[in-house]
Amino acid sequence: MQNKQNSAVPLGHHHARGVVLPFAVSESGGPATMHISHTAGCSSLLRANEDTTWGKFCLDLLENRTVDTISVDELARLLPEALPIRLLKIDVQGLDVRLVRRMPRALLRRVRELRFEVALQNARCTSLYKGQETCESVRSYLLGLGFRGHCPRSPPYTGCEGDAVFRRAELRA
């Protein structure tokens, strides 16, 4: 089997009906410190958790870099207001739950399915980032907004991260 590399594609061409926004998104916007890891998928606005039981590879810090960020409100204004959002997938290296909580309600009303990456909470997994919130901390909020869904648990997941999946209740069969 041939060893596969990450492959780059032109911006916005990862999927025919999807858009990847190349922004650092934070709770309030403005300059923020990005903790750049030697492992690209570990770089985050949150510091890596030295006590992580599974993500020690993320602790190898290359540098701290000040980056401009946009707020969740600014991000929402970039999306056309008239269009429904079939799937909103969030993967922001540990800030996922915080950003879900900060999303404008008007934006969330347009979302049919919401997925975000979370750390699994079990005996063998500790969070990868300091201050990383759990899926359970936002679940009741989303239920109150008309979503139904679940937070991943282990098993059947074999790793220490998974996607929380919430859908509009009216879409359930």
Residue range of the domain that includes 43 = 25-171
Number of separate domains in the chain: 1
In sequence order, what are the beta bridge partners of 68?
31
User: Is residue 152 reached through a cis peptide bond, with omega within 30 degrees of 0 on the bond before it?
Assistant: no
pLDDT digits (tens, 9 = 90+) for 129-139: 998 888 888 99
- Closest by CA to 54, choosing from 1, 132, 109, 144, is 132
Tell me, yes or no, whether 87 lies in a domain. yes
pLDDT recorded at residue 4:
47
Tens of pLDDT, residues 58-98: 999 999 999 999 999 998 888 888 888 899 988 889 999 99
Q: How confident is the model at residue 12 (pLDDT cuts 50, 70, 90)?
A: low
Dihedral, CA of residue 130, residue 44, residue 16 and residue 110, to nearest 10:
50
Instruction: Give a yes or no: residue 127 inside a domain.
Output: yes
What does pTM read for this prediction?
A: 0.80
pLDDT recorded at residue 47: 95
Domain assignment present for 1: no
